[in-house]
């Protein structure tokens, strides 16, 4: 089963950074070393408010399929709905590989309705 094709009600994207480490010389001068050519460590937080419990359960099912935070997967374009820019901007550089940063958080709203919060991390 692929990642649930639902449109999130809220989305937060952190583009991450290039792998860089900085070193300070005795004089205070800084030296930075770039260890990679691709931006990494991007994160995507999706909120699905007031969805049916069965839809909320899809996230748990998917979480099991990818063995929790172990396997990577691609996310459907539905998660980027509402974004009018280039779709790849909200994706992992050069790939579409995400993994769960943590288990999906499901909050009951009322009987039959729940809200789900999903945190993903981009993997090169």
- Residues forming contacts to other proteins in the complex (CB under 8 A) are 21, 23-27, 29, 31, 33, 35
Burial bucket for residue 76 (CB in 10 Å: 0-12, 13-18, 19+)? middle
Smallest separation, CB 38 to other proteins (Å):
17
Comparison of 20 and 108: residue with beta carbon closer to other proteins: 20
Comparison of 33 and 110: residue with beta carbon closer to other proteins: 33
Partners of residue 59 on adjacent β-strands:
none
Smallest separation, CB 17 to other proteins (Å):
16
SS3 81: coil
Comparison of 29 and 37: residue with beta carbon closer to other proteins: 29
67: left (phi over 0), alpha (psi -120 to 50) or beta: left
Kind and range of the H or E run holding 124: none
Smallest separation, CB 97 to other proteins (Å):
22
Are 95 and 75 contacting, i.e. CB atoms less than 8 angstroms apart? no
Q: Which residue has the tokens 């374009």?
A: 77
Smallest separation, CB 124 to other proteins (Å):
18
Comparison of 31 and 54: residue with beta carbon closer to other proteins: 31
């Amino acid at each position: 089963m692929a990642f649930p094709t639902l449109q999130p009600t809220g989305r937060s994207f952190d583009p991450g950074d290039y792998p860089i480490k900085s070193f300070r010389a005795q004089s205070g001068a800084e030296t930075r070393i770039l260890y990679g050519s691709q931006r990494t460590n991007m994160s995507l937080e999706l909120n699905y408010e007031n969805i049916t419990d069965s839809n909320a359960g899809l996230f748990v099912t998917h979480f099991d399929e990818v063995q929790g935070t172990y396997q990577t997967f691609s996310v459907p374009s539905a998660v980027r709905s509402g974004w009018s820019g280039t779709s790849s901007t909200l994706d992992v550089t050069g790939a579409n590989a995400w993994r769960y940063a943590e288990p999906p958080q499901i909050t009951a709203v009322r009987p039959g309705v729940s809200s789900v919060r999903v945190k993903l991390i981009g993997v090169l």
